[in-house]
Copies of this chain bind each other. A is one copy, B any other.
Amino acid sequence: MEDEVDRLVAAWRRERPDLDVEPLEVLSRVSRLARHLDRARRLAFAEHSLEPWEFDVLTALRRAGTPYQLSPGQLLTQTLVTSGTMTNRIDRLAKKGLVERLPDPSDRRGVLVRLTGEGRDRADQALAGLLEQERAILAELSPAQRTELAGLLRQLTAPFDNIPG
C-alpha cells in the first residue's frame, strides 16, 4: 500500500531529478509516523486524563523502581526536553500531586523528584492503555518483522543516545 511519503518522493523525482532523495524514504517516514503516534497517544491518554508529557515524566520515574525518584537531570536525558521545560513540567505535576520535590541529601545544588502513590497508579494505568493501542498499530507486522524493524531502528538511534545527543 502506498503512503504519503511515496507520493512525496515521487514528486521530488519529478521536480528535482538531479537529486538523490532516497534518504527521505526512511527519515521522512520516521518523522511522519512519530507525528501520527503523538496524536494517537494523546487520544489514548485522554481516557486517563493524562497528557503525553505527563506520561513521559511519570513513567520515567515509575521505571526507576523504588523509591521512584530521579533528578531533573536524569529526567532530561530520558525525555529529550530542555531544562526549562523540565522545571515547568515538575512544577505542574507537583501542583497536581503526582510528584514531589525533595532536596538531594548528597548535593545541595540538586533536587530529587519522587512519584507519589497516585502518580504511580496513574502511570501504571496509562501504560497498560498505551501498550494495548500500540499492539493494534503493530498488528500490521509479523513478529519477525517487528524484531527486524526494532533492530534497524536501534542502529540509527544508538549514535544519538550514546555519543552525547
Contacts and interface: CB of A to CB of B under 8 A. Distances in A.
A33 B156 contact: yes
Contact of A32 (B15, B80, B155): B80
Given A29-B150, A37-B27, A153-B33, A65 B127 contact: no
B150 A26 contact: yes
B26 A37 contact: no
A11 interface: yes
- Chain A binding surface, main DSSP class: helix
A77 B77 CA distance: 32
Given A24-B134, A25-B147, A26-B146, 6 more contacts: A1-B158, A2-B158, A2-B162, A26-B153, A34-B35, A140-B155
A149 interface: yes
A16 to B, nearest CB: 7
10 contacts: A3-B162, A11-B64, A15-B65, A19-B128, A23-B131, A26-B149, A29-B157, A30-B34, A31-B38, A140-B159
Give chain A's interface residue range (CB within 8 Å of chain B): 35 or more
Interface of A: 1-6, 8, 11-12, 14-16, 19-27, 29-39, 62-65, 77-78, 80, 124, 127-128, 131, 134-135, 137-138, 140-141, 145-150, 152-162, 165
B23 A31 contact: no
B30 A30 contact: yes
Contacts of A19: 127-128, 131
A44 to B, nearest CB: 12
A124 to B, nearest CB: 8
